[in-house]
Amino acid sequence: MQSERTLVLIKPDAVQRGLIGEIVSRFESRGLHPVAIKLMQVTTDIAERHYHEHRDKPFFMGLVEFITSSPVVAMVWEGPGAVAMVRAMMGATNPADSPAGTIRGDMALSLAMNVVHGSDSAQSAAREVEIFFSAAELLDWENSGAGWILAED
Ligand code: UDP
Ligand code: MG
């Protein structure tokens, strides 16, 4: 399977609830590789660009207010089929529909405060990674000397 990169945000609710480690741990345990991780305050400009597809939805203003309300952890994870894998690990958009074992199914109750964001396609991932990270912030594991055995097809 093709190695992919995907953008994940640990949203303000999860950062405030002390869930950073638990969420990072799930992606690490699954075998994805972290390419970038930073704690940051999302600006209104970044939030509006990131959630551009939802600009005409009734929940857009609340979404931008929430994601800019306190720090998030922005991350890029890499691995075979990483985009769909992260989405599967996250669960459904509404935590009420997320099975136990998924991040939202185990850690969230609220649709608005649903703990994590994950890119929904490879195209979205490429667009979103660029919004949150400069090229220099993205680690190149294959040329890093870390000696990791990269996942095979
Ligand atoms: N959202 C909301 N109300 C809705 C639909 C979505 O507050 O009726 C929020 C929810 O937190 C979701 C985010 O808007 O995570 C982005 O929506 P999307 O449909 O892209 O869901 P996701 O890709 O995060 O699962
Ligand atoms: Mg989405």
59 lines ligand 1 (CB under 6 A): yes
The CA 98 to ligand 2 mean position distance, Å, reads 15
Residue 101's alpha-carbon distances to 30, 64, 93, 109, 127, in angstroms, are 13, 28, 15, 14, 29
Would you say 60 and 68 are in contact if contact means Cβ atoms under 8 Å apart?
Answer: no
Nearest to 88, CA basis, from 3, 21, 2, 8: 8
Among 67, 93, 123, the mutation site with the greatest number of ligand 1 atoms within 8 A of its Cβ is 93
Distance 141 CA to ligand 1 centre (A): 32
> Is residue 117 annotated as part of the catalytic site, yes or no?
yes
Domains within the chain, CATH numbers bracketed: 3-141 (3.30.70.141)
The tens place of each residue's pLDDT in the chain, 153 residues long, gives 789 999 999 999 999 999 999 999 999 999 999 999 999 999 999 999 999 999 999 999 999 999 999 999 999 999 999 999 999 999 999 999 999 999 999 999 999 999 999 999 999 999 999 999 999 999 988 888 886 665 555
Q: Identify whether the C-beta of residue 133 lies closer than 8 Å to the C-beta of residue 36.
A: yes
Closest CA to 67 of 85, 49, 79, 88: 49
Q: Please name the residue ranges forming H helices in 20-151.
A: 20-30, 44-50, 60-67, 82-90, 103-107, 122-132
The residue whose CA has the least distance to atom 25 of ligand 1 is 93
